[in-house]
Amino acid sequence: MKRLLMTTATLAAAGLLVAGCSDPGAGGGTADTGDITWPEATASLEGVELTLWAAQASNTIPEGVVAAFEDATGAKVEIVTIPDPYENGIQTKVATGDKPDLAFWQPTASMLTALNAANNLQVLDDAPWIEDMDPDLQDLTGILNDTRYAALVTSPSVQGVYYNKKVFADAGITELPTSFEDMVAKGRVIQETTGVTPFFEQGNNGWSTQWWPQVLLADAAADGFYDDLNANKASFADDVVVEAITTFKDLIDEGLFNSDIVTATFEDQGDALLSGEAAMAVQINALFGQFQAKADTATLNETIGYFPISPSGNVATSHPDQSNALVAFKTGDAAREAAARQFLTFWMTEYYPTFVEEQNTVSLMTGVESPASVPQALLDVHASLSDSVGSMQAQAVANPDLFMNVVDVINNVKTPQQAAEATQQQFVELAKASGIDGF
């Protein structure tokens, strides 16, 4: 009898739980479009407190604008650094109902999906600064299902090749590589004539190892590989991806990379390229941030150059990352939501000239000139955006951990085929969880 009672009680409790089964991250938002207003940039916000989440790589970017916004409006904005891995941390927090007012976020469709944008994020469709942006950039990113959820604040990252100009000159190379094959050939020349390591890659946490297969996929991407992938008509296990990973692995085995590729860090990569210990690195803008932390513009203009690369030419792969954009959350508090929108307006209008000046970065706005002190390589990076193709993160509907699988290949734990299959498996899993048609 006692046991029967216990069982009944347990079942009843479980039943209640199931009935109450709901997403703690859901709800709490305000009404959607329609009644969204965009307050004046400097309207008074006395007594309003906002929270802005940033990553270790982006937490200094908003310092200036936050101070100026606080002075101009009387609001308080607290910048909270969320430890790496940043995206994972945020998704977990948001899932448990913990939301900031604003956060740096990778503005690609897959990552907006990962945040359940329709439910958690404010719609930025009528943001007043959009029409003043460079037309090439207005709709480049930040959009999911025809709705704008992210505000681009800096020039989106691009996957391309950073090189040491002095090493190129020492090896007698005067023309920049015109294709991937040409780049590898020039790498071999550098190794033979100067003994300098042609390519530097960091396998410590290895997030940048995926750029190699990705730039090798640039032609396929231009031919609609990712569209087919999203429709479940192509796969990461297809030959084109396996070959890209294999090419990368073959170059490592040939000895064209640093010998400590398995343990080298991102910092090591920056140091090696600046000092001329290595000639080239396939990276995104974050590497240039690393250079800027260690050398001034004059030195950088002298030593570091940039060129985009793709199998058949010089097409860059655009890859907006979390330091390029912000999202505003639906917190359920109308005053704070409006204040968050006002903060973005203030940043992109009133403060923008000061912002590009203090960050020494390329301007996205037509009315604001880029500072003269912006290093040439950064201008080249920005220029390569206009005819770029989107990266995996930018185009695929879900964002699998390609880099982890590539790191497995570098460590000889997986073959390129196995790495490609594992990536596809995870892609399908994520696409299925996102409820994408065809999965």
Partner 1 sequence: MATMQDARVEAPRARRRRRQDLPPSGGKPRGTHPLWFLIPAFTVLGIFFFVPTIYNFVYAFTNWSSFKSEISFVGFDNFQGLLANGTLLSSLKITLIYAILVAVFQNVFGLLLALLLEKDTRLNRAARVMFFIPVIMSALAVGYIFQALLKTDGPLNQVIGFFAGGDVSIAWLGSTTWTIVVVAVIHAWKWMGLSMLIYLSGLKTINEDVLEAARLDGAGVWTTFWKIRFPLLAPALTFNVATALLGSMNGFDIVQATTGGGPARTTEILNIFIFRTFGQGLFAQATTMSLVLFVVVAALAFPVIGMLRRRENVL
Q: Which residues bind partner 1 (CB under 8 A)?
A: 13-14, 17-18, 21-23, 25-27, 85, 87-89, 91-92, 94-95, 113-116, 119, 203-206, 260, 262-263, 401, 404, 407-408, 410-414, 422, 425, 429-430, 433-435
**Minimum separation from the CB atom of position 260 to partner 1 (A):** 7
When the beta carbons of 176 and 436 are compared against partner 1, the nearer one is 436
Which CB sits closer to partner 1, 9 or 185? 9
Alpha helices in 261-375 (DSSP H): 266-275, 285-294, 297-303, 334-348, 352-359
Select from 185, 160, 180 the least CA-distant residue to 387.
160
Q: Decide: 229 and 402 in contact? Cβ < 8 Å.
A: no
Torsion of CA 105, 107, 113, 118, to 10 degrees: 90
Residues 58-96: b if buried by 16+ CB within 10 A, e if exposed: bbebbebbbebbeebbebebebeebeeebbeebeebbee
Give the shortest CB-15-to-partner 1 separation in angstroms: 10
At residue 121, the 3 state secondary structure works out as: strand
In the beta sheet, which residues pair with residue 216? Answer: none
Give φ, ψ of 190 to 5 degrees: -60, -45
Say if CB 87 and CB 53 are below 8 A apart: no
Distance separating alpha carbons of residues 280 and 200, to the nearest angstrom: 6
Compute the least distance from the CB of residue 130 to partner 1, in Å: 26
Q: How far is the CB of 92 from partner 1 (least distance, A)?
A: 6
With helix as H, strand as E and coil as C, how does 332-351 read? CCHHHHHHHHHHHHHHHCCC
- In the bound complex, what is the minimum distance in angstroms from residue 270's beta carbon to partner 1? 16
Nearer to partner 1, 311 or 416 (CB): 416
Q: For partner 1, which is the closer residue by CB, 179 or 204?
A: 204
For partner 1, which is the closer residue by CB, 150 or 377? 150
C-beta of 261 vs 362, nearer to partner 1: 261
Give the separation between CA 78 and CA 145, rounded to whole angstroms: 31
Which pair of tokens denotes residue 305?
């150059």
Nearer to partner 1, 119 or 138 (CB): 119
In angstroms, give the least distance from the CB of 134 to partner 1.
Answer: 31
Nearer to partner 1 among residue 321 and residue 408 (C-beta): 408
Task: State in angstroms the smallest separation of the CB of 275 from partner 1.
Answer: 16
User: Rounded distance, CA 424 to CA 439, Å?
Assistant: 12
- Taking the complex as a whole, the smallest distance from the CB of residue 60 to partner 1 amounts, in Å, to 23
